[in-house]
Amino acid sequence: MNRDFLKDSKRVVIKIGTNSIMKSPGEIDYRKIDRLSYVCSVLQQQGKEVILVSSGAVGVGACTLKLKEYPETIADFQALASVGQCALMNLYCRFFQHYDQYVGQILMTRDIVDFPISYVNCQSAINSLLARKIIPVINENDAISTDEKTYNRKFGENDTLAAVVTELVDADILIILSDVDGLYDANPHTTSYAKLIPSVGNVDEDILGMAEGAGSTFATGGMATKLKAAKYLMDNNKSMIITSAEDPSLVFDIFKGNEIGTLFKKDVREKALQGEEK
């Protein structure tokens, strides 16, 4: 699938997961946060508008409080997320400032996008930051998010949040930096012959069937959530790439049109078929 369209991307969302900013449950990967801050800052200086969706509040909070596992109660979990979010944003502020780049925090819950007035307000807040060349750093507000039958305020994981943000701000592309290079035809951690799939034009049942569960103690997402995010975006005529977070500078190569990771972009032939059916 041709990737030349990526060279013209102006507004981009980059999402990084908990596994990618934590070396282990008790150790933060400062090098990774530094490299990510550098990449986002350079892209901003090149004239792109960058939105960063970052997981990791719970992982960083657990590291800060020297915990080995999740708290058992919702209240304790929310307290942990609150501590972790402060620590995480402190790290981003420090590293981004090294590259003369300001960041602004936005914490979201699902009701922001479920109610029209909240949706527009959130959209305006992000656009206002971008207009001032400030990079929004977005996370779910785990300190107050709830998941109830009568009132769902929780995204659940940040792959979905990143996809919603991409649609919300009408970004050109979502890049998910993960602990894998992209989508494989088998689990690359357990299967030696697994092959990377360079592009996907339609997220069907066969593609969804390739996914497996979450990656670690403090991570809530996995390949399944990424594929659902890809389907959501493709249904809204948006594109997404999954690639490794090991070297965030690979994002520069993505915007050169190089074949990095797995590209999810609705197949032109699929669009034509849908048009004929109408």
> What residue numbers does the annotated binding site for substrate cover?
55, 142, 158
Contact 17, 158 (CB under 8 A): yes
Whether the CB-CB separation of 142 and 81 falls below 8 Å is answered with yes
Contacts of 91 by beta carbon, 8 Å cutoff, 6+ apart: 28, 30, 33, 60
Q: Which residues are annotated as part of the binding site for ATP?
A: 15, 178-179, 220-226
Question: Is-contact 118 111, C-beta < 8 A?
Answer: yes
Burial of 40 (0-12, 13-18, 19+ CB in 10 A): buried
Are the C-beta atoms of 240 and 233 separated by less than 8 Å? yes
- Which residue shows structure tokens 């993960």? 178
Q: What DSSP designation does 134 have?
A: P
CA distance 131 to 123: 12
Contact yes or no for 28/91 (Cβ under 8 A): yes
Which residues are annotated as part of the binding site?
15, 55, 142, 158, 178-179, 220-226
DSSP three-state, residue 228: helix
264-278 residues labelled b (16+ CB within 10 A) or e (exposed): bbbeeeeeeeeeeee
- Residue 211: which of 262, 139, 147, 140 has the closest Cα? 262
Type of residue found at 17: G
